[in-house]
Amino acid sequence: MGLTKKRFIADFQAEALHLFADSLENLSPMQQYQALAFLVKGYYAKDWAQTKADYDHHQQKQVYYFSIEFLPGRLLASNLLNLGIKDTVEAGLKQLDIDIPDLYAQEGDPGLGNGGLGRLASAFLDSMAADGMAGNGNGIRYQYGLFKQRFVDGYQVELPDDWLRDPYVWETRKENRAVIVRFGGSVYLTPCDNGGLEPVYQDTDDVLAVPYDIAMVGHHNHMVNTMRLWSAEPVPGHAHSLAEKSRINAITQILYPDDSDTAGQELRLRQEYFFTSAGIQSIITHYRRFHQDLHLLPNFVAIHINDTHPAMAVLELMRVLLDDGGLSWEEAWQITVQTLSYTNHTLMAEALETWPEEMFARLMPRLYQIAQEVDHRFRQTYTPRFGGELIQRCAPIADGYLRMAYLAVIGSHAVNGVAKIHSELLKSSVLKDLYTIFPERFNNKTNGITPRRWVQVANPELSELIDSAIDTGWRSDPSLLVPLAAHLHDEKFLKALHTAKKANKEKLAAIIFDQLGIEVSTNAIFDVQIKRLHAYKRQLLHVFGILEAYLAIKNGENRPSRVHVFGAKAAPSYRYAKSVIRLINAVADLVNNDPDCKGKLAVAFLPNYGVSLGERIIPAADISEQISMAGTEASGTSNMKLMANGALTLATLDGANIEIKDAAGEDAMAMFGLTTPEVAQLKASGQYSARAIYEADPTLHRVVDMLTDGTIPGITTEGREIQDELLVYNDTYLVLADFRSYVEASHKLDALWQDPIAWAQAALKNIAASGQFSADYTVARYGRDIWDVLPATPVGHGGE
Ligand code: TH1
């Protein structure tokens, strides 16, 4: 975009006048933000319309990414970056004497997701636009996002996230594209003209699905894609009772606050059908504007099922092809399988969705009929070859439940996990039987992140330093970071790296002081763990590491100074996770108020972790804690963001940590703990005794005792609960088993810290190797291997 500073200032002033009938300097920062955002929306509007027109004109194959969560983060800075006008606009703002960080901070984060799954979905939309692929998001416009987290007396308190209270500038309501989603009622089949059967619906609850579109601006390529979020409304003209209206509105009112641990509420099932049906209907309506023949659907449309939440797409697409399209079962099934693909994001049994047949049949009677037919044909087709036992284990319906992961595999032509190890484990554990039947469908697509947001926007200090060393090509093609490694022995560069990190630590220290009143030294190691709070992610192990250091300091030992930074929300109903939050805050109180720890050890638990807080924490991190029990974290993505910002990974061999190790080198990080096979073997042997380990390790003994002996004030019940999980319930996630090797790995990093040049070299190795984890490459691989869609914009190499 050929925008000059002068032109921008004039446009901005005109927009302010237009929107608020006042001059810029009289507006509040929020109004100034809104004026700027509207102006930017206008800057890309033409490209947005043109991109859609071009896709239609060239009949480009479209990808539809169905996800029950999205976490786009703030869009102003990233849109400016992608449009190539960020520097110009910022120069203009400076001339207008506007506080730029304060202006950006006016924008709220849409909290339409819980964690990695939602953030990955948004990264993929951003990357599809950057790659010039015709990629669309399909999801839910929740009225309330994930709760805002506060701490009161160290306890998590959840406040509603009413993110739509201020008008959300980036969305556009598309009333003309609304569709009707039918729930409940009854359905029977009746003979129709072509000799087949036709379903007749009676007494259905109809809901209007209204789409809100948000632009996904491509990086420097004039392409603008769409994220479409659906809102549930009463159908105009229908006589709804008040109770019905509120039942309808409830469908898109709230996001379920669970990450990868629970499943199974009726409203959740309604949400899933709502956005899946709306998406499928609008795709087919659009397709039919250009094509008569539904058989060609897979040539023009790819629909991706992000985890099982939209797995009903299998049944809904069948419904539309059979009932509206009049195709035979065989034809419809072939089209469905060729159109759909599925990503699994977790092996955790609790998160594998199953729905009671009764509930499913009541809410979606027609889909249930189709599911029964899928089940029947699956059994009939494969039992002769694979035997009844295997088929019973992996059929879509069994024991009164629909099993959504199995349905997704059976109804898709491709199935992938999100890191190499995870994709392997899928084949050998939860999807083993279906892998036996459909081996050719299984593949790996290691997750990725968007370095545009996590490095270019969040860390300008590092970005400029990289530019000065290897020029700016990496900004469009992060695989070009590799040559940065040539500076491994360039002391001046290594020192500059340290200085840039220090500047980011100063900024984070100011936030920590501002929010928590804790003064931290920026000479300390900033040791960061940011992710949802889950037992399997083992924040508790990190706490035990802190307590080990605390005891050492009390004992007069000299250790490099550390600041432990946490960010983590717990699901409101997850008692154990909330107890760990209380524990972290109590340990923070203990440590931060102990004069012996001053300048040596500090703990800062920043509330309300999300995309925007991540942008402040990640650039300041020295250590990235990725310490899940091996075999539990499917991939992780904060590991990639932190690596890209030069943090050293302290990790188990789990998820994408393994690929990070292969990329950066073992000497540039610290690995520890039991491996996945060791965990499996230990669990299978029945020989694990947490208590025996506790008895054998005096330091660990002391640390575990601290939970209940009053050393950490104010955690009587929580301390007892956590200690019982370890010693009475025998430590499900092997915290005690990994404690010793965790502490040793951590000491290894302490030793490295004593040599600033060696530390900077390790940081540099991480940065130089991080480019392969750009989601631009991940998405290009999905396009090549799964969707059959090629990037229109060159995307470089990125590993493979
Ligand atoms: C996460 C995984 O736990 C994480 O390892 C992975 O990096 C991320 O997805 C992206 O692939 C998951 N989030 C959810 C959320 C729900 C259900 C399952 C998962 S798995 C609601």
Give 350 Cα–ligand 1 centroid separation in angstroms. 12
The rounded distance, in Å, linking the Cα atoms of 349 and 176 is 41
pLDDT digits (tens, 9 = 90+) for 268-284: 999 999 999 999 999 99
Ligand 1 centre to CA of 679 (Å) is 21
* Residues whose CB is less than 8 angstroms from the CB of residue 311 and which lie 6 or more positions away in sequence, other chains included: 305, 342, 353, 404, 405, 407, 408, 411
pLDDT digit string, tens, across residues 384-410: 999 999 999 999 999 999 999 999 999
Q: Measured at the alpha carbon of residue 98, what is the angle toward residues 452 and 71, in degrees to the nearest 5?
A: 35
Using the atom order of ligand 1, give the atom closest to the CA of residue 119: 10
How many residues in total does the chain contain? Answer: 800
Q: What number does the ligand 1 atom closest to the CA of 69 have?
A: 21
pLDDT of residue 582: 98
ipTM: 0.97
Which string of DSSP letters, residue by residue, matches 644-656?
HTTPEEEE-S-TT
Question: Best of 345, 348, 532, 627 to mutate for ligand 1, by most ligand atoms within 8 A of CB?
Answer: 345
The 10 Å CB-count burial string (b at 16+, else e) for 310-343 is: bbbbbbbbbbbbbbebebeeeebbbbbbbbbbbb
Residue 343 Cα: closest atom of ligand 1: 11
**For ligand 1, mutation pick of 260, 261, 309, 353 (most atoms within 8 Å of CB):** 260
> If you measure from the C-alpha of residue 742 to the centroid of ligand 1, how many angstroms do you get, rounded to a whole number?
24
- Average pLDDT of span 169-185: 97
Kindly state the greatest CA–CA separation across the chain. 89
- List of residues 6+ apart from 14 with CB closer than 8 A: none
Nearest CA to ligand 1 atom 18: 260
Centroid of ligand 1 to alpha carbon of 464 (angstroms) = 33
Q: Which residue has the tokens 């029947």?
A: 376
Q: In angstroms, what is the span from residue 408 Cα to ligand 1's centroid?
A: 17
> What average pLDDT score do residues 584-601 get?
98
Q: Please, where in the chain does CATH 3.40.50.2000 lie?
A: 59-74+109-350+783-787, 478-773
Q: Are 262 and 168 in contact (CB under 8 A)?
A: no
pLDDT > 80? residue 1:
no
Atom of ligand 1 nearest to the CA of 256: 21
Out of 256, 259, 261, 628, mutate this one to test ligand 1's pocket (max ligand atoms within 8 Å of CB): namely 259
* Lowest mean pLDDT, pick from 257-271, 447-461, 491-505: 257-271
Mean pLDDT throughout 276-299?
98
CA of 260 to the centre of ligand 1 (A): 6
The pLDDT, as a whole number, for residue 779 is 98
DSSP state letter for 785: I
- Give the pocket of ligand 1 (CB within 6 Å): 114-117, 120, 258-260, 307, 345-346, 351, 418, 447, 633-637, 655
**Cα of 348 to ligand 1 centre, how many Å?**
10
DSSP 228: E
pLDDT at 428: 97
pLDDT confidence of 650, banded at 50, 70, 90?
A: very high
Q: Which atom of ligand 1 is nearest to the CA of 115?
A: 13
User: Model confidence over 680-717: pLDDT tens digits?
Assistant: 999 999 999 999 999 999 999 999 999 999 999 999 99
The model's pLDDT over 712-764, given as tens digits with 9 standing for 90+, comes to 999 999 999 999 999 999 999 999 999 999 999 999 999 999 999 999 999 99
Out of 66, 71, 117, mutate this one to test ligand 1's pocket (max ligand atoms within 8 Å of CB): namely 117
Stretch 452-457: mean pLDDT, rounded? 98
124 CA to middle of ligand 1, Å?
14
- The predicted-structure confidence for 780-795, as pLDDT tens digits, reads as follows 999 999 999 998 887 8
Which atom of ligand 1 sits closest to the CA of residue 637?
7
State the Cα–Cα distance between residues 371 and 271, nearest whole angstrom: 18
Q: Whose CA is nearest to atom 4 of ligand 1?
A: 636
Residue 673 in this model has a pLDDT that exceeds 80: yes
The number of the ligand 1 atom at minimal distance from the alpha carbon of 346 is 20
Nearest protein Cα to ligand 1, atom 9: 117
Q: Using CA atoms, how far apart are residues 418 and 105, in angstroms rounded to an integer?
A: 32
| Residue 158 phi, psi (nearest 5) | -105, 125
Which pLDDT tens digit goes with each residue over 304-318?
Answer: 999 999 999 999 999
With contact defined as beta carbons under 8 Å apart, do 76 and 36 qualify? yes
Q: How far is the CA of 637 from the centre of ligand 1 (A)?
A: 10
pLDDT for position 239:
82
SS3 content of the chain, % helix, strand, coil (to 5): 55, 15, 30
Residue whose CA is at the smallest distance from ligand 1 atom 7: 636
Q: Domain 478-773 carries which CATH code?
A: 3.40.50.2000
Residue 405 Cα to ligand 1 middle (Å): 14
CA of 573 to the centre of ligand 1 (A): 18
Which atom of ligand 1 approaches the CA of 116 most closely? Answer: 8
Catalytic residues: 345, 531-532, 537, 637, 641
Give the pLDDT band of residue 800 (cuts 50, 70, 90).
Answer: low
The answer to whether residue 540 scores a pLDDT higher than 80 is yes
Q: What CATH class does 59-74+109-350+783-787 carry? A: alpha beta
Half-sphere exposure of 587 (CA within 13 A, CB side): 34
3-state secondary structure at position 216: strand
350-383: pLDDT as tens digits: 888 999 999 999 999 999 999 999 999 999 999 9
Q: DSSP of 476-507, one letter per residue?
A: T-GGGGGGGGGGGG-HHHHHHHHHHHHHHHHH
CB 91 within 8 A of CB 5: yes
Answer yes or no: is pLDDT of 193 > 80: no
Q: How far is the CA of 307 from the centre of ligand 1 (A)?
A: 8
Residue with tokens 């969305």: 171
Strands 179-183 and 186-191: unpaired
User: DSSP string of 517-532?
Assistant: -----TTSEEEEEES-
Mean pLDDT across the chain: 97
Buried b (16+ CB within 10 A) or exposed e, 243-276: eeeebbeebbebbbbbbbbbbeeeebbbbbbbbb
The number of beta carbons lying within 10 Å of the beta carbon of residue 536 is: 16
For a pocket test of ligand 1, which of 346, 347, 778, 779 has the largest count of ligand atoms closer than 8 A to its C-beta?
A: 346
Residue whose CA is at the smallest distance from ligand 1 atom 19:
260
SS3 at position 768? helix
Counting from 1 in the atom list of ligand 1, the atom nearest the Cα of 656 is 7
Task: Output the CA 22–ligand 1 centroid distance in Å.
Answer: 46
If you take atom 14 of ligand 1, which residue's CA is the nearest one? Answer: 260
Please report the pLDDT score of residue 795 as a whole number. Answer: 82
pLDDT at 797: 61
Q: Does the pLDDT at position 799 exceed 70?
A: no
What angle, rounded to 10 degrees, do the helices at 539-554 and 698-706 form? Answer: 110
Residue whose CA is at the smallest distance from ligand 1 atom 10? 117
**What single letter denotes the amino acid at residue 577?**
A
Confidence of residue 196 (pLDDT cuts 50, 70, 90): confident
Cα-based torsion angle of the residue sequence 411, 412, 415, 418 in order, rounded to the nearest 10 degrees:
-100
- Terminal-to-terminal C-alpha distance of the chain: 33
pLDDT in the model for residue 798: 60
Atom from ligand 1 closest to the CA of residue 655:
5
